[in-house]
A and B are shown apart, each in its own frame.
Chain A
Amino acid sequence: MTKPSDTLYLYSDTANIMFFKPTPTTGQPLYLQLMQQIRHATETGVLQAGDQLPGIRTLAEELVVSPNTVAKAYCELEHDGVLELKQGSGAFVCANRRARSLAEQLPLARRRIRDLIERLRDDGLFDEEIRRAFEAELLYSAKIVKKR
């Protein structure tokens, strides 16, 4: 699972992304949080197609998480078609249809969520209540999302 150390140079050259240390207390597995960060970066254009992500060892050390967490995140993202794992050289951002369409879908999804939140606020719900309702529903249906 070791990655070549020269990804450090590539990392600073190409993928100019700052990762945030995942927070362990939200009840969400850390690898999912990491996946979200990477996905978000690809959707907003911070990570371009073809960019190389840091090696597992490097990223694990920087974020202070288990390398298995990083490996799982990368693996799942490869499964989702976001990343491409090249044997011996590292993880690269895929340039494929699904990632691109997601970049289009996301602004639409956010507009819909914005509208829903506005309506719920009009109904008299507080933001905290809205958030908890979302979380509850997401967790309830989480088992459908689980892949392994």
Chain B
Amino acid sequence: MLWYKAWLETRARFLASLATLTIFCAVLVHHALYIACSNTFPCTEGWIRPGRQAEFYRLLLVTQEFLVFMWVLAVVLLGMGGIVREKALGTSSLTLSLPVSRTRLMRVRVGLGILEALALAVLPWATVFAISWIAKMPVLISQVGLYVLLLVGGGLVYFAMAVLVSSVVAGEYTAPALAVGVVLLGLIIFDAWLRRFNVWRLMTGDFSIDRDTYLLSGHLPWWGILASLSVAAVMLLASTLVVRRRDF
């Protein structure tokens, strides 16, 4: 029942984030469709003039940019918790007396977090698709898939970073503050000096977007995604080692 416990612990954060992201995307795509369909909703004609289509997809790109920002914050929040936080709350003696290894505790927490992060990427985009479909101007499924892939593939590293921070720092406010601080620091550093390696740009589609059609090309930055996921894996491994060695 470790999954159940992890769910109870993250449920509120997850549902609140899900609601926020979904509503936000719904509003944005509705607005985008409204504009693209010349101020009508649903669209009375099928696909509209090519110029408008590009405009529509450009607005989707903007959606992704906002979504990345909110998704990263949500995922950092989801990465909080864990046994180190439990020690501050006083429940670690119960959790650690269970006949389960600390590695398994970490695996369940991370596993659920990843599933929740996935849901936070898929469901808002699914909403975008649903609304556009209702408006008789469905977004290309391939585009939805690509946006989700970029978001999760590039962004899980932020989740892993949050897990690592919460394995080292116990405070209720210091841990998330530190994690958000790292996010911002990363933004600044990578934007200023390491633009080629900026995972944020990867997630928002900056590396894959066609500037004429505003469609994501199938030419994805696979190396970037792989690198990002590898760093995430290393961070998660480090978190596990830190937690295994620590005294409670």
Complex: A in contact with B (CB within 8 Å): no
Interface residues of B (CB under 8 A from A): none
